[in-house]
Amino acid sequence: MKTKFRSTAILILAAWAPVAVGAEESPTTPEERTDSLGKSQLKEINADLKKLGADVDLAFVGDSITRRWRGEGNIEVWNKYWGSYKAVNMGIGGDKTQNVLWRLKNGQLDGYQARVFVVMIGTNNCWGKTTVTEDVTAGVKAVVDLIREKQPKAKILLLSILPVGEKPNPGRMTREAINTQISKLQGGPVEYMDISAKFLEQDGTISKAVMPDFLHLAPKGYEIWSEAIKDKVKVMLAGAEKR
């Protein structure tokens, strides 16, 4: 029985090993989302872009933190700050830098000209047991570089990754290190803002009123985000070239 068990175990491991190797991810290698959530949200963004037409004022690029502007309660904050602009929410829940790269390479930067892109991405690259901050930074840089390549007339507001967890923790330290690194991407059409501290209480904790799960934002969190960038966005829009 032991021999049979060992043989079975070896077969299982042999079958699993190639999958594990193939599943290794690179933050700079475009990767398509094949799950139903990713595909459905991709279609929704593409439909929104089609409705807006050739000219877009603001394009918010990101993951679920950006995506959830669409949620009940949060959409009112979106309308309050960004409703007067031709603005599009290009956030997909669960996206990493490589997923954003794939969709930006496959149509989401085509057929229109944006004046300003607001980019916040990278937190989903930080959930592994070990995160190489330089790799995540390279992924963020690849996203910024691709936008610059395909939308050379646009300006880019690159935002810091937001803090996570109720109290200071290693995950925050990882994200802070990435923020320090991506801040160096500023220059030319790219401006950087670190807004992470605005979501913290004086003692360094995060309130549930701001982030109910200490990751995603409540309406109050979206108010903080909007207030933090609204003036910068106005200035960038004023300086952006119109078609």
Which candidate in 57, 63, 64, 160 is catalytic?
Answer: 64
Share of residues in the chain with pLDDT > 70 (%): 89
* Beta-bridge partners for 119: 61, 158
97-122 pLDDT, tens digit each: 999 999 999 999 999 999 999 999 99
First CA to last CA across the chain, in angstroms?
74
* 7 a catalytic residue: no
Domain definitions of the chain by residue range: 31-239
Residue 83: count of CB within 10 angstroms of its CB: 11
* 216 a catalytic residue: yes
187-199 pLDDT, tens digit each: 999 999 999 999 9
Which candidate in 7, 40, 55, 213 is catalytic?
Answer: 213
* Beta-bridge partners for 113: 55
* 213 a catalytic residue: yes
pLDDT at 240 (0 to 100): 83
**Mean predicted lDDT score pLDDT of the chain:** 91
Comparing CA positions, the residue from 71, 69, 93 lying closest to residue 81 is 69
> For 31-239, which CATH superfamily applies?
SGNH hydrolase (3.40.50.1110)
pLDDT at 173 over 50: yes
User: How many Cα atoms sit within 13 Å of 107 on the Cβ side?
Assistant: 9
pLDDT at 171 (0 to 100): 96
52-72 pLDDT, tens digit each: 999 999 999 999 999 999 999
Task: Report whether 45 contacts 108 (CB < 8 A).
Answer: yes
Residue 100: count of CB within 10 angstroms of its CB: 30
pLDDT at 11 over 70: no
- Please tell me which of 2-11, 15-24, 125-134 the model is most confident about, judged by mean pLDDT: 125-134
More confident residue, 108 or 241: 108
Task: Report whether 163 contacts 172 (CB < 8 A).
Answer: yes
